[in-house]
Structure 1
Amino acid sequence: MSPVTLNSFEKRVLYFTSIANGLFASTGILLAYVLEYGQFVMLMFGIDAVNNFVLAYLTRVKPNYRIAALSFINNMVFLLYGWYIFGNMNNLPNLVAVAMIAEARIVLNSRPKIVSAVSWCFGIALILLHLGALFLPEYIPVIRHDMVIFDLLVTALTYSFISLAMKRYSKQVLVEQRTVQEQKEELATQNEELQVSNEELYANQEEILAQREEIERQHFGLQRANNNLLHSINYANRIQKALFSSSIEKLNNKGSFVIDMPRDIVSGDFCFVREVNNVIYIIQGDCTGHGVPGAILTVIATELLDKIIVDKQCWSPKKILTRLDEEMRFRLKNEGRANLDGLEAGVLAIDNNLNVALFAGAKRPLIFWDSTTNQYRVIKGTKKAVGNSMNVESEYREEVFKVNTGDRFYLFTDGFVDQFGGDYDKKYSNKRFLNTIAELTDIKISEQAEVLTEEFINWKGDKRQIDDVMVLGVEV
């Protein structure tokens, strides 16, 4: 265990008493020489002087209670030896005894009651010795009787000064100890509060862990449900592609193209191609919504178109849309509210026997490129959706025009033209789409799908696709 370090006051007291005792011992050497007490006495006082000066140096370097105790023992031995040599308690021995009292207080500072008792006993013993030397010289002889009163006064004053200083210091130490005790109590209180807080935090941590486990359990359940849902949707996508694969193959076989980019896995856009009596019916639809709801409507719409064109032999685009509208209204009827479900569609019929084309649109246009004049024209559709009770116009319009080999037709849903992107985050727009189509004049129809797809991706950039996209290109 390391020795306890003295404070600044104790250090000063020990330092100066060691210096004083060293000087007293040096004076003892001179007295021993003058009084001819011999070299042994001079040697002893020389050792005492050297010890006190060494202790003074150690006090300056690293003061502690061990050095104070060593100084006390050293001076006690030489005080007794001085009394024995000089045969009285005058002068040097008295002052050394007072210095020992101060050192004793430092050594015993951790036991204030013992310090006080020893100091009083030591002081009373000195007073009694002086009074005995004064009034009982035959029992306590002294060399200079006239110096006893002076020594008594000096000893009493010195002792009183040291006692008062130490008492004042003891009060200061007591105040500091109380302050330290209060700080310890405050720290103990804070420690208890901290312990309570730690317990609360631990309880909260356990609750959080429990909640985390529950969240993880729910997350696992949701992930599993999501995986099942994705599996079902992917399977629905395969079914949807299988339903439309024959129509897409017919277009591709004729050197035309189909761009199909669903926003989600399944699409609300569809294409329908049938050939009856050398008349090709090309129908593109955009059902309400996207994803699963839109995909379900595409199945209903294609089923009805098969029934209308093949079974009912309804061959006019205008009548096809009219019958489809009636069937969709019946299928999607919902009493008590306006029916907003349905689809937008463009119906193109190309009669290879008569070399004419007929078109009717339900809110969807047709872009026609005349190969003989190298001109584009946009044939607008009727402002009337299929199956929607909130229509503006009551009947679908039909347009008939002559076609020649090499003429091109483009049907498209609004997913392409309504997509936000570009440098200013604007819609692509119908005008921009028509200009892009016009720039494809010298490109084969079968190669245009790649160009248009790249155009859409570049325009969209890192923006989210807002709707399903489908573009059909047909060349006669």
Structure 2
Amino acid sequence: MQPSKITVFQRRVLYFSSIANALFATSAALLAFFILFDKQVTWMFGVDALINFILAYFTVKRPGYRVALLSFLNNALFLLYAWYAFGNIHNLANMVALVLVAQARIMLNDKPGIVTKVSIVFGSLLMLLHVGAILFPTYIVVARPEMLLFDMAFISVAYSFISFTLKKYSDQVQEEQSTVQEQKEEMATQNEELRVTNEELTTTREEIMSQREELARQHQELQRTNNNLLLSINYANRIQKALFNSSRNILKGKDSFLLDIPKDIVSGDFCFVRELNGITYIAQGDCTGHGVPGAILTVIASEILDRIIVEKKSWSPKEILTFLDAEMNYRLKEEGKTNLDGLEAGILAIDSKMDVALFAGAKRPLIHWDSEKKTYNIIRGTKKAVGNAQNVENQYKENIFRIQKGDRFYLFTDGYVDQFGGEDNKKYSSKRFYRTISELSDIKISEQAQVLLGEFEEWKGNKKQIDDVMVLGIEV
């Protein structure tokens, strides 16, 4: 059985009652010795005093129900023995000490009602016995009447202690009950706050779950839309490749290369090649934007170029650009608005029979490798785009030059030279690109695409590609 938890005040009551009992037993032992009672009485009171002192010590060290029970049993056994051995009324004075101890022990069990009843019963019994011994000495024989004064004095002190103890205990119980009530009210308030908080949390959790479900639904919808768009773009890519497939096939039949690196799946850069009457027409363009908008413009430009070259049979790159510009402006212009869409392009016409090449550029240059002089020439284009109203110049310029076997020509869009990268995250630049091209003179034209691709990837590193990239090289 575990010791019951007691308060500081209750521990003090238990302690002082054990001390009081021990002092009473000590006094009784001394009195018995001097009045020359039997030695057995002296030893009996002495042992009782020693036991109560020991119990008082354990009350401080290990307060609890077991110590109280031992004290109660000790004094009960002592009382029974004293009554049996001597039959003397004044020995009932020890009962008062027993009652005092019993009251303290019972009080530790939180039963003040029993304490009061026990006090009344035993106190009344003792008072009646004493009064009866004084009034009727014939019927109630007292061996030593002088001990009655000692008994009365002890009873008075004992009841004073009992009354004080009960009052203190009652005050403490009320205080503890008040504290408990305050704690209950505080706990009730906290429980109400927790209930409200739980309801708010439940509402919030439901809202979060609802939002999560909505987000999941929207994610699925976006995923489905994205998949449909991706399928459409991939299909557009196949159409775009098919549209320019004939141009690529013509290039494959010549000493040439085409480096094509779209930023997205479909590209705004294009290469258009036609052969007509012994002349090879090569047009490379960079349409406004990239991705799907740029790809749509490549389809329009390709259709117009095909009609200009095949139907109009125009030989001059300058005329081709002029016709292309007019047609693009016509098709793309919105009523009441200035057209800002269009393309930058370079058109090269090679007549191998005449050993002549013509070039016209709409904001794009041409690099010419002169196989005889072993030098590179840069032919810059006109500062006039195709199909765009914001131009610096009004007319396209045309360049004509003689060629011989082994000459090389390079057309490129600005995606390569504008790419950011390197240690300082700068643009690749036209100057660096011209230097790279000049270092390819000893490499076969068909192998140069891989060299340029490696250079581009090394420069870009882990940076994002900013535009479509296309470089075309051809050797006559």
- Residue 432 of structure 2: aligned partner: 432
User: How far off is 1:124 after superposition?
Assistant: 4.5
User: How far off is 1:292 after superposition?
Assistant: 0.6
Amino acid at match of 2:100: I
Q: How has the CA–CA distance of structure 1 residues 423 and 406 changed in structure 2, closer, same or farther, with 3 Å as cutoff? A: same
Deviations 1:9-53 (A, max 9, x none): 433443554466568668888959964487xx8998798678757
Matched-pair identity in %: 62
- Residue 283 of structure 2: aligned partner: 283
Q: How has the CA–CA distance of structure 1 residues 89 and 243 changed in structure 2, closer, same or farther, with 3 Å as cutoff? A: farther
Give the Cα separation in 2 of the matches to 1:76 and 1:376. Answer: 127
Residues 1:104 and 2:103 are matched in the alignment: yes
Residues 1:422 and 2:422 are matched in the alignment: yes
- Are 1:75 and 1:100, in contact at CA under 8 Å, matched by a contact in 2? no
Give the Cα separation in 2 of the matches to 1:45 and 1:95. Answer: 10
What's the TM-score, normalizing by structure 1? Answer: 0.89
- Are 1:257 and 1:474, in contact at CA under 8 Å, matched by a contact in 2? yes
Give the Cα separation in 2 of the matches to 1:140 and 1:471. Answer: 138
User: How far off is 1:56 after superposition?
Assistant: 5.3
Amino acid at match of 1:83: W
Counterparts of residues 309-348 of structure 1 (less than 5 Å): 309-348=309-348
- Residue 243 of structure 2: aligned partner: 243
What's the TM-score, normalizing by structure 2? Answer: 0.89
Q: How has the CA–CA distance of structure 1 residues 134 and 468 changed in structure 2, closer, same or farther, with 3 Å as cutoff? A: farther
Between 113-122 and 230-239, the greater mean CA deviation after superposition: 113-122
Partner SS state of residue 344, structure 1: strand
Give the Cα separation in 2 of the matches to 1:435 and 1:120. Answer: 121
Amino acid at match of 1:206: E
Unaligned stretches of 5+ residues in structure 2: none
- Are 1:133 and 1:140, in contact at CA under 8 Å, matched by a contact in 2? yes
- Residue 72 of structure 2: aligned partner: 72
Q: How has the CA–CA distance of structure 1 residues 383 and 151 changed in structure 2, closer, same or farther, with 3 Å as cutoff? A: same
- Are 1:72 and 1:104, in contact at CA under 8 Å, matched by a contact in 2? no
User: How far off is 1:475 after superposition?
Assistant: 1.4
- Are 1:360 and 1:397, in contact at CA under 8 Å, matched by a contact in 2? yes
Between 382-391 and 202-211, the greater mean CA deviation after superposition: 202-211
Residues 1:94 and 2:105 are matched in the alignment: no
- Residue 454 of structure 1: aligned partner: 454
- Are 1:285 and 1:343, in contact at CA under 8 Å, matched by a contact in 2? yes
- Are 2:106 and 2:114, in contact at CA under 8 Å, matched by a contact in 1? no
Q: How has the CA–CA distance of structure 1 residues 215 and 472 changed in structure 2, closer, same or farther, with 3 Å as cutoff? A: same
Give the Cα separation in 2 of the matches to 1:201 and 1:367. Answer: 70
Partner SS state of residue 145, structure 1: coil
Give the Cα separation in 1 of the matches to 2:186 and 2:429. Answer: 75
- Are 2:285 and 2:346, in contact at CA under 8 Å, matched by a contact in 1? yes
Residues 1:413 and 2:413 are matched in the alignment: yes
- Are 2:18 and 2:101, in contact at CA under 8 Å, matched by a contact in 1? no
- Are 2:71 and 2:101, in contact at CA under 8 Å, matched by a contact in 1? no
Give the Cα separation in 2 of the matches to 1:184 and 1:464. Answer: 66
Give the Cα separation in 2 of the matches to 1:89 and 1:8. Answer: 36
CA RMSD across the alignment: 2.9
- Are 1:411 and 1:471, in contact at CA under 8 Å, matched by a contact in 2? yes
- Residue 473 of structure 2: aligned partner: 473
Partner SS state of residue 415, structure 1: coil
Partner SS state of residue 416, structure 1: coil
- Are 1:363 and 1:383, in contact at CA under 8 Å, matched by a contact in 2? yes
Partner SS state of residue 447, structure 2: helix
Q: How has the CA–CA distance of structure 1 residues 358 and 87 changed in structure 2, closer, same or farther, with 3 Å as cutoff? A: same
Give the Cα separation in 1 of the matches to 2:469 and 2:139. Answer: 131
- Residue 203 of structure 1: aligned partner: 203
Amino acid at match of 1:330: Y
- Are 1:65 and 1:107, in contact at CA under 8 Å, matched by a contact in 2? no
- Residue 297 of structure 2: aligned partner: 297
Give the Cα separation in 2 of the matches to 1:336 and 1:119. Answer: 114
Between 145-154 and 56-65, the greater mean CA deviation after superposition: 56-65
Give the Cα separation in 1 of the matches to 2:156 and 2:443. Answer: 126
- Are 2:13 and 2:165, in contact at CA under 8 Å, matched by a contact in 1? no
User: How far off is 1:77 after superposition?
Assistant: 4.0
Counterparts of residues 223-234 of structure 1 (less than 5 Å): 223-234=223-234
| Matched residues, number | 473
- Are 2:24 and 2:97, in contact at CA under 8 Å, matched by a contact in 1? no
Give the Cα separation in 2 of the matches to 1:235 and 1:134. Answer: 128
User: How far off is 1:444 after superposition?
Assistant: 1.6
- Residue 218 of structure 1: aligned partner: 218
Unaligned stretches of 5+ residues in structure 1: none
Give the Cα separation in 1 of the matches to 2:157 and 2:168. Answer: 16
User: How far off is 1:362 after superposition?
Assistant: 0.6
Deviations 1:200-251 (A, max 9, x none): 2112212211221121111111101110110110111111112122212322
Give the Cα separation in 2 of the matches to 1:138 and 1:346. Answer: 151
- Are 1:366 and 1:379, in contact at CA under 8 Å, matched by a contact in 2? yes
Give the Cα separation in 1 of the matches to 2:130 and 2:371. Answer: 144
User: How far off is 1:288 after superposition?
Assistant: 0.7
Amino acid at match of 1:282: I
Give the Cα separation in 1 of the matches to 2:216 and 2:282. Answer: 50
Q: How has the CA–CA distance of structure 1 residues 450 and 86 changed in structure 2, closer, same or farther, with 3 Å as cutoff? A: same
User: How far off is 1:363 after superposition?
Assistant: 0.8
Give the Cα separation in 2 of the matches to 1:133 and 1:253. Answer: 148
Give the Cα separation in 2 of the matches to 1:419 and 1:374. Answer: 29
